[in-house]
Structure 1
Amino acid sequence: MAEDTRTVTPPSQADRGERAATSRRVVGIGGNVVGVVALLVALAAVAAILGFTNQGVSIGSVFEDDSAGTMTIASPFLLLLLATTGFFFGQFATRGRWGSSGKTSVLSSGSFRVDLRPVSVVLHVLFLLASVAVWVLVCPVPVLLETAGTVNPPPGSSAAKQFWFTVVVYSVVTGALAGVIAVSLLKKLTYNRFLERGRASIVDGSPAQVAWRRLSHIWRGELVLAGLAGAALGLSPLGIHLDSASYAFAFAGAGVALLVASVAMGLNAWRSGLPVERVESYT
């Protein structure tokens, strides 16, 4: 029997690169499509819940298996998590380049990193305006319409409780999102300029540099504070609905304090010495 002398030619580096690029395009398109669809459905769901509960129709009368309305009110939030997951994979595939730092320096000591191509300032501003607009529709508009007598589900009814609970939940969500986007935009506009100006003062491996790398570069602590600030500020208009000035001032005051802390941290985030476009793992 003749011996088979055929050999399998390994794929060239160009072929592997082409396949990787194709995979990234597929993941990018798929992730972004999932994100957009889930986001639009979530917005429509919130609008629908507010619409029929304002008419005195409780969630339980629409969905008999959810008499309390908890799962129905939570469903848009779950869709937002799905949208976030889709956008995570979609954006990291289209704008990100994955790599390993090799732990050659304390200054760049995460095992994995992703260098992201930033979105434009104009698009970033549009995201901020969109998030603020949705918050306005979810919270201040219902509150103002209530004072005008337009929004008036039967007091004490299940529909009224579900209406205002929906307002509370998505005031937190949209307010937090707006806060995160706003401080992220501030970092984009200031980070690289401040880093270039103060790079000589950064000592690789110093306690200050390592602390900023962990708190800001890895964990994005300023964005966590921004989200909390946005959530608190987002709830403050409900003081009008509750006829409680102390409620409004308490949440507004807490929101402003957290926002000041977030901005201060964001303006000093450059002290990590690392590119703002990079996302790095902790270990």
Structure 2
Amino acid sequence: MTMTFNRALVTGASGGIGAGFARALAAAGTEVVLVARRRDRLAELAEELEQLHQVSVEVMPTDLADSAAIDPVIQRLADSDRPVDLLVNNAGQLTNGPFAELPLAGELQQIQVNVIAPMRLTHAALPGMIKRRHGGVINVSSIGGEAPSAYGAGYCGSKAFLTLFSQSLAIDVKRHGVHVTALLPGFTWSGDRRDLSPDAAISRRAVQEPDRVAREALVAVAAGRALCVPGLRNKRAVAIGRMVPRRVMNAVLASVNATISAAPQGPPGTARPQDHPTS
């Protein structure tokens, strides 16, 4: 049976897939709680959703990289008077470079945003959902967590954890009427696509629309599917990655990483993995 949701909380909601989730949910009549760092962008999105869809929208400017700042969001998820029956852990952070040369503080902050924050928020939301025997959680992971990548040790490791955490949790809570889905997007538009350099290593056809990714994930969690890989290209990449011997895959990835590293870089904020620095 397909599940519907009355109120959803979305982190990283000010742009990219997070805003896509907010738009799709509001269009379906779901009330939304928007969480991200930038108050101005959240307020703008909230006004848009309220005017277009006549739904209630709450705004919670919060930096999930700050462990103390998460507390109000945890309290909101635990509020039984205004229950949240869908949690979308979309906020993420991406670092890139040789691990030994990157500042450790940045790597730890990445773990805070990509791993600790989703765990804490999910832990806060689940008791109410289990009690009501109704609810869903979407954890936005990445196909980047499916295989090792040069210059992405912390990022790939954090996403690999989030994927397996979500799939394992889905087994635990299914009997309580709660659905958990790991979303594994690939490259997704998060800025102005016109700014993408024609020489960029990532082709335009390989970059997905955030609204479409969000809609696929919402269908998956409503149906109780523990894994959602949006887009045929991404599905093929994940399937091939799981079948090909690791030593062969490592050689292929080394070649791909070398190509991407050598390619001219487009302006910041154009085409990038969805797990962008927390918005």
| TM superposition score normalised by structure 1 | 0.30
| Structure (1 or 2) with the greater helix fraction | 1
Scaled by the length of structure 2, the TM-score of the pair is 0.30
